[in-house]
Amino acid sequence: MAAKHLGCTPSTIHHRAQKNPKIRECIEDERGWILDFAESKLLQAVKGGEAWAVCFLLKTQGKGRGYVERQEIKAEARVEIVTSDEAITDDELAAIIRRGIGKVVTPL
């Protein structure tokens, strides 16, 4: 809307905001107001018993209380990278290539 009002493109405003902290702060403030307004409308819908609004609120804000559709699992892995060609035998390298894990690169 600002770009249309000023007669420029949205990318012009985006580039100016990257360079000017006051413009960036103004944009962030407006987005904050828009979010506040949207949240107030969501709350009105929840208070009005709108099933979609209740469901949405529970799925987003109620996750900590178990209102989730899927189980979220976090996993950690450790990867070791061998950088020395002497650290791996020819047989081990061949086995890795056969399993499709590595590629053979011939130096120029």
3, 10 contact by CB (below 8 A): yes
Instruction: Give the residue numbers spanning the domain of 67.
Output: 2-75
80, 87 contact by CB (below 8 A): no
Residue 37 lies in a domain: yes
- Among 31, 6, 10, 33, residue whose Cα is nearest residue 18: 10
Q: What is the pLDDT of residues 30-71, one digit of tens each?
A: 999 999 999 999 999 999 999 999 999 999 999 888 888 776
Number of domains in the chain: 1
Residue 57 lies in a domain: yes
Residue 29 lies in a domain: yes
pTM of the predicted structure, to 2 decimals = 0.53
74, 80 contact by CB (below 8 A): no
59, 68 contact by CB (below 8 A): yes
Highest mean pLDDT: which range of 27-31, 41-45, 83-87, 103-107: 41-45
Residue 41 lies in a domain: yes
Residue 61 lies in a domain: yes
Residue 55 lies in a domain: yes
Residue 38 lies in a domain: yes
Residue 1 has pLDDT above 70, yes or no: yes
Section 90-104 average pLDDT: 71
